[in-house]
Structure 1
Amino acid sequence: MLTYPQIDPVAIRLGPLAVHWYGLTYLVAFALFFFLATRRLRHRPFASIQQPAPWTRQDIEDLLFWGVLGVIAGGRLGYVLFYKPVYYLSHPLEVFAIWQGGMSFHGGMLGVIVAMALWAHKRGRPWLQVTDLVAPCVPLGLASGRVGNFINGELWGRVADASLPWAMVFPHGGPLPRHPSQVYQFLLEGVLLFVLLWLYARQPRQTGQVSGAFLVGYGVLRFVAEYFREPDAFLGLQALGLSRGQWLCVPMVLAGVAMWGWASRRNAAASPTG
């Protein structure tokens, strides 16, 4: 059994200014996205697209800006609506108090989807072409965010057997050893999903298939990780003994399967027969 290393959540102090590790992990996530997205431009079909215009580094910079807005706005609104709607209905001004914490991945994902749709419409590009470019670049950013969760000692796991070598006692999680679920999520929905999706996307795919694969992959891996993560105290487990996070993954997986199947059928219908 391990003891949480008590990492100071503040990385740098410059007088009254405090730079938190969690904020730095967001910056790392955005930098990773930019690095990977520029590499994606070398892959097919993006390297050969000419209409309405070739993809450029400037496009990636613009996508990053829009994506950051989508992550912040969607993540916060998702937390408000999915996790504490009654509380924020009574305290509406606190919706804007992002510094107090409270972000939702599923809300952030919806925010990014809306942002990408608006950007695609503005540039006259097919929306699924944009999401296919973006999808494989996201998981390592999610992994970086889980590092921030671990440093903050938050979102710890469920109680584990003390004989588990990597079970850990978290400072705010009580005296019992717990699963380091932030590490599980770092490895599953971060590193593993990135490797699988990056390799999958390197081969020619029909428009929409990579996006569908991301939805399915993240939804399944997050669903599994939630079995080791302590449910939010104010929610607990819900119908069928599932957490709120797991229930939010269900429509995500179904949407991914439908998107992947639609893209495959569309290609089959377009192929010549006889």
Structure 2
Amino acid sequence: MLTHPQFDPVALSLGPLKVHWYGLMYLAAFLQFWCLGRYRILHHAQLSASGWTVRQLDDLLFYGVLGVIVGGRLGEVLFYQPGYYLDHPAEVLAIWRGGMSFHGGFLGVLVAMGLYARKIGRTWFEITDFIAPLVPLGLATGRIGNFINGELWGRVADPSLPWAMVFPWVDNLPRHPSQLYQASLEGVALFVVLWLYSTRARPRGAVSGVFLIGYGSLRWLAEYFRSPDDGILGLSFTVSMGQWLSLPMILCGLLLVVLAHRQRI
């Protein structure tokens, strides 16, 4: 069995200033978003022909950062640990310790993209189709940040599993390194699917729909390897909170793909 390396969450200390690995992972996520977005604008004739510019990408990144941080933290507070943060309100702002909900960040980004779409006169789905392939690798870096922080550890695993890992501060049982599973599935695998799918012209809304289906399905699968939470309203019925929140993503994604190909969007 492997043992978690128990990384120091602080990557760099400069006097009173401490740079945390978790923050660096988010910085890496935003940087890869910009680099991939720039590549798409410069190398995809359809995007450049529709008027996308690197300047707009810069603005999108700014709006997206706000949506991810505000929505992700509020999602963690409201969806997953409302009782804890009600008792410790000062820790709501301590994002360097981890604790960012994907589904909350996703909703925050949707709101931010809606505001930006209104500002520049594009449709909401034009924006989401453009950014969908740029998101998964950022999700992967976020999960690596979870692994470095030693949070969101997995369920107990068979000791014979070659990569079973002990998280000493939890217990001495072998567990799935579920953070790395999610980095591989929701991050790398989803990126490959979306990047390849979006290289050809697709009906408006189709790429966004495939993102919803892909993320929702892969997150549903990954939840079977994460330590279970209490589910929605404390009632799991063997379905975790992450799965409850992913179910509407899958259903909306299926509907979106159907409507896109019928040109109803």
User: TM-score band (shorter)?
Assistant: over 0.9
* Amino acid in structure 2 at the alignment position of 1:172: W
Cα distance change, pair 3–151 in 1 and its aligned pair in 2 (3 A): same
Aligned position for 2:211 = 214
1:59 aligns with 2:56: yes
Question: Shift of the alpha carbon at 1:144?
Answer: 0.5
Q: Deviations over 1:200-250 (max 9, x none)?
A: 010110010000000100000011001001124798984330111111100
1:244 aligns with 2:244: no
Question: Shift of the alpha carbon at 1:172?
Answer: 2.3
SS at match of 2:170: coil
Once the two structures are overlaid, the 10-residue window that deviates more, 248-257 or 258-267, is 258-267
Aligned position for 1:30 = 30
Q: TM-score, normalised by structure 2?
A: 0.93
* Amino acid in structure 1 at the alignment position of 2:120: R
| Identity among equivalent pairs (%) | 62
Is the Cα–Cα contact under 8 Å of residues 44 and 204 in structure 1 kept in the other structure?
Answer: no
Q: How many residues end up aligned between the 2 structures?
A: 264
Task: Give the Cα separation in 2 of the matches to 1:236 and 1:160.
Answer: 27
SS at match of 2:12: strand
Unaligned 5+ segments in structure 1 are 270-274
Task: Give the Cα separation in 2 of the matches to 1:241 and 1:230.
Answer: 12
Task: Give the Cα separation in 2 of the matches to 1:246 and 1:211.
Answer: 19
Task: Give the Cα separation in 2 of the matches to 1:237 and 1:169.
Answer: 27
Is the Cα–Cα contact under 8 Å of residues 37 and 57 in structure 2 kept in the other structure?
Answer: yes
1:10 aligns with 2:13: no
Aligned position for 2:21 = 21
Superposed, 1:165-204 pairs within 5 Å as 165-204=162-201
Question: Shift of the alpha carbon at 1:101?
Answer: 3.9
Is the Cα–Cα contact under 8 Å of residues 120 and 127 in structure 1 kept in the other structure?
Answer: yes
Task: Give the Cα separation in 2 of the matches to 1:193 and 1:229.
Answer: 19
Cα distance change, pair 8–28 in 1 and its aligned pair in 2 (3 A): same
SS at match of 2:48: coil
* Amino acid in structure 2 at the alignment position of 1:114: V
Q: Deviations over 1:27-69 (max 9, x none)?
A: 00000000011112132531211xxxx2111100000000000
> CA RMSD, aligned part only?
2.1
Q: Which has the larger radius of gyration?
A: 1
Q: TM-score, normalised by structure 1?
A: 0.90
Aligned position for 1:272 = none
Question: Shift of the alpha carbon at 1:85?
Answer: 3.2
Q: Deviations over 1:170-227 (max 9, x none)?
A: 1322110100001100110000000011000101100100000001000000110010
Is the Cα–Cα contact under 8 Å of residues 98 and 149 in structure 2 kept in the other structure?
Answer: no
Cα distance change, pair 27–82 in 1 and its aligned pair in 2 (3 A): same
SS at match of 2:13: strand
1:148 aligns with 2:145: yes
Unaligned 5+ segments in structure 2 are none
Q: Deviations over 1:105-163 (max 9, x none)?
A: 00000000100010000000111011000000000000011111111111110000111
Task: Give the Cα separation in 2 of the matches to 1:39 and 1:238.
Answer: 45
Task: Give the Cα separation in 1 of the matches to 2:92 and 2:7.
Answer: 28
Question: Shift of the alpha carbon at 1:7?
Answer: 1.7
Task: Give the Cα separation in 2 of the matches to 1:220 and 1:248.
Answer: 11
Question: Shift of the alpha carbon at 1:88?
Answer: 4.3
Task: Give the Cα separation in 2 of the matches to 1:235 and 1:173.
Answer: 24
Is the Cα–Cα contact under 8 Å of residues 237 and 243 in structure 1 kept in the other structure?
Answer: no
